[in-house]
Amino acid sequence: MNNANESNIGALRADGTQKPEADVSYDFGGFMGEISGLFEGRVLEDVAVVYPYSNDFSSRKHAFQSTAQAIRVLTYGMNIHPRGIGEYQLEDLEREPAKLIIVPSPQNFSDDAFNRLVELAK
């Protein structure tokens, strides 16, 4: 790095050597490997909240805010713990259907994603 004001973000230094913080990723991976048996036979939640990725780069934050508010109401207010699904991963709902699908901010959904949701609701 030629500029002293530049920060080196990430697990590697500018010279390609690994920073000590990178060990956290390895430790986490090892931990997940140790407890992987806990995920076998897991029963998925009956409620799914669909996150609208298509709005991520918008200057308006209503997609994030409405999704966060929906999660807060469900978890803190109603003690319901939903599973999260991205709008581009709706095939997960086709394989493992939910009893209730909540879409807090559908205004920027692609036509394909919206049509898939309509088909899932039928």
- pLDDT 10s digits, 31-42: 999 999 998 988
Provide the pLDDT confidence category of residue 4 given band limits of 50, 70 and 90: low
Q: What was the pLDDT predicted at 2?
A: 55
Dihedral sign of CA atoms 28, 45, 66, 107 in order: positive
Residue 70 sits in the same domain as residue 116 = yes
Residue 74 sits in the same domain as residue 28 = no
* pTM of the complete model: 0.72
Residue 11 sits in the same domain as residue 69 = no
Residue 55 sits in the same domain as residue 86 = yes
81 has a pLDDT exceeding 90? yes
Q: What was the pLDDT predicted at 53?
A: 84
86 has a pLDDT exceeding 60? yes
Residue 89 sits in the same domain as residue 60 = yes
| Burial call 1-23: b when 16+ CB within 10 Å, e when fewer | eeeeeeeeeeeeeeeeeeeeeee
102/75 Cα distance (integer angstroms): 13
The structural domain count of the chain equals 2
Query: Domain residues for 15?
Result: 1-40
